[in-house]
Chains A and B, each alone.
Chain A
Amino acid sequence: MVTVPPRGRPSAATRVRGSGALAWLAVPALLVFVGFGVIPLLGVLALSFTTWDGLSQDITFSGFTSWSAVLSDPGLPHALWVTFLIMALSWLVQTPASILIGVFLAGRQRYRTLLAVLYFIPLLLSSAAIAITYKALLDPNFGLGAGLGLDFLTQDWLGDGTLAMGVVIFIVSWQFIPFHSLLYQGGVRQIPRSMYEAAELDGAGRVRKFFSITLPQLKYTIITSSTLMVVGSLTLFDLIFVLTAGGPGDATRVLALDMYKRGYQANLMGPASAIAVILVLVGLALALFLRRLGGRDAGASQLEGA
């Protein structure tokens, strides 16, 4: 842990000298992480082997009853499927859009800076406020469609399973594309000009430059952004909770919502903790998978020391 070499390949001397101080620097973060991350996690793991209604003082150890209840419940594969669907679809919508907007915004023109500021606005709003607003706009009788007299906007948006899923993905994308665009904007600006100049000398056009230089050079940005998207949609809760509460029926009940409903609405803390553990495991697995995807060949990108 102490001697993880930073990517810049420091000389042996600095590594030895810096290691003591660096370890100390990690202490505050480590304390917070242990206090608010690891200890509660262990608590949840312990709770998943108990039966507790969240009210009484006695928490009884009950072995694997919570786990077998959760694992045999058809609600779990459904919730996993819904979570996966939201993850995959919102990634598919957000990534191409964010890359394009990010590349566009990386240009130094004035109007683009102005647009960048405008695009950023959805990110400043809280998810709950966004959900309440969209709920009002999508109301079939008093919403946008009825107000403007546009029939195609007057749908049973949140009452039909497929439409509700679409609405969730649309709003998530609307909210987070600005953030990911910002990541890509930064990524594009770090690509050395010299590469484009070389390509131009070889007669490459805009499209060719985008696919042969920009995209490959953005590899790590794509991985970072995808990790944030995937893990973010795994824990997506506030927006769905306010917008559909998992409904209609259980059409948008993601894993995080399933956990909350079991724990705090149905008073089943054991099974809710089991789902929490599953959530952590799935999240860890996905994050590891995406890291692996990045590979270890640091030379693939020429951002540093080109």
Chain B
Amino acid sequence: MESRTTSRRTFLTMSMGLPLGAALAACGTSGPGTPGGGGSSGGGGGAKASYWFLSTEPQEGVRRRTAERFNQANPNGQIEFTTFQNDAFKTKIKTAIGAGEAPTIIWGWGGGGLRSYVQAGQVEDLTSWFDQNAAVKDKLFPSSFGAATVDDKIYAMPCETMQPIVLYYDKRAFDKIGAEPPQSWGDIMDLVPKFNAKGIAPFSLGGQSRWTNMMWLEFLFDRMGGPEVFQAVFDAEKDAWSNPVAIDALTKMQDLIKADGFIKGFSSITADSNADQALLYTGKAAMMLHGGWTYGGMKQDGGDFVPGGNLGFMNFPPIDGGKGDPGNTVGNPGQYMSISAKATPEQKEIAKKFFSTELISDKSAEEWVSTGAVPVIKGSEKFFANSPDAEFLNFVVGIANNAKVFQQSWDQALSPTAAEVLLDNIAKLFQLSIGPQEFATNMNAVIGK
């Protein structure tokens, strides 16, 4: 009796253990296999290239329809796409690349992130492909290639839209205090007390997101010392952050913060929730320095604000005594697609075909214009005329065409390691918990890392 019960128990535990073990084994094989689905094995008829992209509308729809049009035209070489939310994507793509399970088409922001993929040998060198397909290269804005280039070789296809950082302002607020938009840094500092006296915050800022603060420093550095100041950091010159111009720019930044230039409690506000945009269109703040992509957001959420012609926009004004060209801009010169080095030759061919056909087709350009953004594809202006956003679109194209330098966002240009330290110290600088010298010292420590 006794021994029988025991053996039945033993049997039970074992039978419970076995399926569990089998389930574990299944997890082990299917886990990495599924996301890389198209990556590891093609179907019978034709190979499939995999492509991951971000899931926010209206951009998601354009990306999806572009891929679908390509699939309709190419039944034998399809693209399988998967969508991800922004922050999840950033982590997921890194993990997948590290595990050798990257999608065929690696979407990204170019710059330092792309450099880290290149150094790890994970993406294809596209230089010779662009040489053979000069027509493709000619169709794209030349300024978009900077962030796709690592050590004079092109590793990514510029795509989608260019997003310069723009100084937005509320015309109603300027009417209230009877002033004109700022033409210089001096004007900005003069406007601050005037707006504060009327109970309007001079500038909106989503300071919790950190990169929002960074856009200010990018312009201050460029207007005061030209692109050379940050270039020295990028080129890993020793103590580049201690450049007197840099210290001066950081000091000016803190002066504006101390003068209550930004909305009270800006460190509690995030850009993810679009609360910073809301401050502008609800009339709580008079100005906002933000990416071109926020135009679409304000148009959508701001009610009558954008259609009613209350939104003004301009390039960042010059700074008295600064050496930088006031035509320069900063931001995202484009988005980027690379091809995984781990993909099969068939998959690589599909990706290249996608790059040279549907990705830069007129239809794609037109769809991007309809989102209120300027595609990196040349000749998109012909679609502007029908757009209610023509004024803004022409303004963005004007900036892009006139800018001698389109500086890529610092956190994208630097390596992920340095970018994290940068954002950290920028947050502290805006909190006034560290001064310009301490900022420079902390940043010098990670130069070239």
Q: In the assembled complex, how far is the CB of residue B276 from the closest CB belonging to chain A, in whole angstroms?
A: 9
Q: How many Å lie between the Cα of A247 and that of B95 in the bound state?
A: 25
A249 contacts B284, C-beta separation under 8 Å: no
Flag whether B116 is at the interface (Cβ < 8 A). Answer: yes
Q: Is the CB of A248 within 8 A of B267?
A: yes
Q: Which one of B9, B116, B268 lies within 8 Å of A157 (CB-CB)? A: B268
B24 to chain A, nearest CB (A): 6
CA distance A157 to B270 in the complex (A): 13
Q: Is the CB of B431 within 8 A of A248?
A: yes
User: Are B122 and A156 touching (Cβ within 8 A)?
Assistant: no
Closest to B10 in A: A24
Q: Are A35 and B273 in contact (CB under 8 A)?
A: no
Interface of A, secondary structure class, is loop
A262: B residues at CB distance < 8 A: 420
Query: Is A160 on the interface with B (CB-CB < 8 A)?
Result: yes
Chain B residue with the shortest CB-CB distance to A241: B87
- Knowing A25-B9, A28-B13, the reply to whether A155 touches B265 (Cβ < 8 A) is yes
Q: CB-CB < 8 A to B415: which residues of A?
A: 267
Residues on B close to A: CB < 8 A?
Answer: 2, 6, 9-10, 13-14, 16-17, 20-21, 24, 91, 94-95, 97-98, 100, 116-117, 119-122, 207-208, 210, 263-270, 273, 275, 278-279, 284, 415-417, 419-421, 424, 427-428, 431, 433
- Beta-carbon contact of A158 and B268 below 8 Å: yes
With A141-B263, A248-B427 known to touch, is A268 a contact of B417 (CB < 8 Å)? Answer: yes
> A32 — which chain B residues lie within 8 A by C-beta?
20, 24
Q: Does A218 contact B (CB under 8 A)?
A: no
- In the bound assembly, the distance between CA atoms of A158 and B24 in angstroms comes to 42
| Contact of B122 (CB < 8 Å), options: A56, A135, A248 | A56
- Determine the main DSSP class of B at the interface with A: helix
Residue of B nearest to A17 (CB): B2
CB distance A55 to B91 under 8 Å?
A: no
Q: In the complex the two chains form, is B267's CB within 8 Å of A24's CB? A: no
- Within the complex, which residue of B116, B268, B433 is in contact with A267, where a contact is CB–CB below 8 Å? B116
Q: A31-B21, A267-B417 are in contact. Are A156 and B98 (CB under 8 A)?
A: no
| Cα separation A154 to B98 with both chains bound (whole Å) | 45
Whether A56 pairs with B119 at a CB distance below 8 angstroms is yes
Q: How far is the CA of A20 from the CA of B270 in the complex (A)?
A: 58
**In the bound complex, do residue B416 and residue A266 qualify as a contact, i.e. CB atoms below 8 Å apart?**
yes
Residue of B10, B208, B266, B419 with most partner-chain A CB within 10 A = B208
A56, B269: Cβ atoms closer than 8 Å: no
Most buried by A among B95, B117, B119, B265: B265
Task: Given the known inter-chain contacts A28-B13, A265-B420, A266-B416, please indicate yes or no for A55 contacting B208, CB distance below 8 A.
Answer: no
Known: A28-B17, A159-B267, A245-B208. A55 touches B433 (CB 8 A): no
